[in-house]
Structure 1
């Protein structure tokens, strides 16, 4: 994690956020929208934040470059 993202994540967690989902690189809009839809669906089904991120990452279409980048770009901090 770069220093900018590390600082934002730390600030949010110290400020009381239960968890943070963030991308460590720039991500394409279309694929990110699908990933976030999958993430929120998993959360609505009762998954923890970490498991919801993993589910969304697993659902990303890794056969396409944009899907691969999106699938590996997001990480969960806290909220395990």
Structure 2
């Protein structure tokens, strides 16, 4: 997983450099998924929230829905959702 994180971080740097906000949001979402799978829930939530913020700003409804779904799962697993 560490290699995947390194690759996504490289992708994140590139998307930031070229101003590709949609793929930046997607990369942040994937980093959230990796950290969630590692059990680092707080880090995963932080990445998902960054992705969600971008998706809201650019109006990516599909991205918003997918990220909200992942956040709901994490919060439910933490016992923070009814």
Q: Normalising TM by the smaller chain, what interval?
A: 0.3 to 0.5
Structure ranking higher on relative contact order (CA contacts 8 Å, 6+ apart): 1
Using the size of structure 1 for normalisation, the TM-score is 0.34
